[in-house]
Amino acid sequence: MVVYSQKIVAEKIAEHLFLNPKLLGSLKFLYLSHCHGLVKTPDFAKLCALEQLVLEDCASLVEIDESIGMVGGLVLINLKDCKLLKKLPENFCMLKLLETLKVSGCSNLGMLPGEMRQMESLKVFHADGLDFGNSSYTTQQNVSWGELLWGLVAKQKVSLQLSLTSLPCNSITSLSSVNCNLHDSSFPWDFRVSPTLEKLNLSKNPIRFLPDCFKGLEEVKNLIIYDCNQLQTLEDLPKIKKLHALRCPLLEKISLKPGLFLEGYAFPHKCEKLLEMESVFKVVPIGEIDSELINNFGIYDVESMKTTQRRLYNGYTSSVKRCPIQVIIYGNSPHRCESFSIFYPGSSVPIWFTYQSYVPSLSFIISNSKLRYLNACIVYKLNPGKPIYFYLIFHNITKDKMIVHNPACYGIPEGDEYMTWLSHWKFGSHEAGPGDEAGTTMITRLR
């Protein structure tokens, strides 16, 4: 019995099909991935019914026949990892029904058809690994006549380069440009993306900020930005369902457009310098906090805290850093009330705390006015090397209403010392009123 590998089988099928064109007339799906012997696609004139063409990892493919423009029913073309392919045929743009085009890994692809940006049917465009960063762009207002003239001359001297202006962005709903050498200056002044964009992946590019063309969006369901080593801020973000900002070592701030809250899942893992994620958390040195708020905490020796160094665990970034005493501000949003936390070494509870307990819960009656804010003090120890979850629960027993605070950032005691956590919650007008019976409970569990 002769056993063929998947690659050899695919190549034999391809050879058989193209030598017998009568078989091609009703073919709808043609999957020829890993055909390493395929150098050029044959005439597509007989493939009038073809809807999907998959040529992934055809390592020797250097040319796609011009007749591909005749296959008007094509909705998907996958050319991923065809590393020797240098261009797409000009009449590629005749494919009026094409919805998905994947050219990721086509590292030698040096140009796209000029009319490609007019392909209004295209919804998915993946171009990971292509080099769109060879050219720099400036706004029209900043271009002098000399620079413009020199640019025209230079274009005659250099080989054709991939440009973002070639991208068909009018109707794209999924755009992936991972590792495309995109700098801040790589985005032309008139480059715009579709307002219907649902998924955007800008990972592994040397951008420092989110380009202006993406700030104009109203909503992105999934924004993926990982391994962007130069990224400093993500500001004025649109409405986002999922945000993945992984391993961006210089990222300090994530903010949304005014009036927006981060409604979905956010994962800034290993972004060690991240100090602010709007409506979620903000880490501020204690010396920069308003004195009235500090007084509300019952802290009067701020100067000594400015120089006290302790380790702070940030659960949002899964990182630990040694720093002076910080105030962690948890943002006000539809999902939480605004709160403030301070962690510092020691085990003494300020004397002005009215209710104290050696067990993790206590109850009390609210006085004759509405509860505007709640201060809580917790003293704790931790087992070394075992991150935990903290849950501080306020329960209005009378109204049967609960508010749960889960501080993702907390101080790590050193050695056998205790750590004190002061928490200050701001309440709205309906959380608790005069005469209500209430209670607080502290719960911890290992991560």
Distances (CA, A) of 371 to 30, 266, 438: 68, 32, 11
Three-state SS annotation for 49-117: CCCEEECCCCCCCCECCHHHHHCCCCCEEECCCCCCCCECCHHHHHCCCCCEEECCCCCCCCECCCCHH
- Over its C-alpha atoms, the chain yields an Rg (Å, rounded) of 30
Distances (CA, A) of 264 to 238, 279, 434: 12, 12, 35
> For residue 56, what pLDDT band results from cuts at 50, 70 and 90?
very high
Q: Which pairing describes strands 281-285 and 276-277: parallel, antiparallel, or unpaired?
A: antiparallel
Instruction: Check pLDDT > 50 for residue 252.
Output: yes
- Predicted local distance difference test score (pLDDT) of residue 228: 96
The runs of H, that is alpha helices, within 209-366 are 212-215, 291-297, 302-307
- Predicted local distance difference test score (pLDDT) of residue 336: 62
Q: Which pairing describes strands 437-446 and 388-396: parallel, antiparallel, or unpaired?
A: antiparallel
> For residue 20, what pLDDT band results from cuts at 50, 70 and 90?
low
Return the ∠ at Cα 59 (arms to 54 and 65), rounded to 5°. 60
Q: Which two tokens stand for residue 96?
A: 């009026």
What whole-number percentage of the chain has pLDDT above 90?
A: 27
- Predicted local distance difference test score (pLDDT) of residue 189: 61
Q: Which two tokens stand for residue 216?
A: 């104009």
Residue that has been written with the tokens 């909705």 in this structure: 75
- Out of 211-220, 341-350, 405-414, least confident range: 211-220
> For residue 5, what pLDDT band results from cuts at 50, 70 and 90?
very low
Q: How many CA atoms does the CB half-sphere of 265 hold within 13 Å?
A: 8
Across the chain, mean pLDDT equals 81
Instruction: Check pLDDT > 60 for residue 126.
Output: yes
What's the pLDDT tens digit per position in 221-234?
899 999 999 999 99
What is the set of domains in the chain, with CATH numbers? Answer: 6-218 (3.80.10.10), 283-446 (no CATH)
Q: Which residue has the higher pLDDT, 3 or 280?
A: 280
Give the torsion through C-alpha atoms of 342, 347, 348, 353, to 10 deg: 60
Q: Which two tokens stand for residue 254?
A: 């994530």
Q: How far is the first Cα of the chain from the last one, in angstroms, to the nearest whole number?
A: 54
> For residue 241, what pLDDT band results from cuts at 50, 70 and 90?
confident
Burial of 21-30, coded b for 16+ CB within 10 Å and e otherwise, reads eeebeeeeeb
Give the torsion through C-alpha atoms of 206, 209, 215, 217, to 10 deg: 40
Instruction: Check pLDDT > 60 for residue 412.
Output: yes
How many residues does this entry show for the chain? 447
Give the torsion through C-alpha atoms of 349, 353, 356, 362, to 10 deg: -130
In whole angstroms, what is the distance from residue 304 CA to residue 313 CA? Answer: 21
Residue that has been written with the tokens 């750590």 in this structure: 419
Closest alpha carbon to 381 in 340, 411, 342: 411
In whole angstroms, what is the distance from residue 290 CA to residue 299 CA? Answer: 12
Closest alpha carbon to 123 in 90, 99, 103, 107: 99
What's the pLDDT tens digit per position in 330-371?
876 655 668 888 998 888 888 888 788 887 888 888 886 777
- Predicted local distance difference test score (pLDDT) of residue 12: 57
In whole angstroms, what is the distance from residue 197 CA to residue 169 CA? Answer: 9
DSSP state letters, 250-271: T--EEEESTT----SEEE-TT-
3-state helix, strand, coil in the chain (%, to 5): 15, 30, 55
C-beta of residue 241 within 8 angstroms of C-beta of residue 218: no
Helices and strands per DSSP (H, E), number in the chain: 5, 25
Closest alpha carbon to 329 in 365, 382, 289: 289
- Predicted local distance difference test score (pLDDT) of residue 45: 85
Within 10 angstroms of residue 172's Cβ, the number of other Cβ atoms is: 22
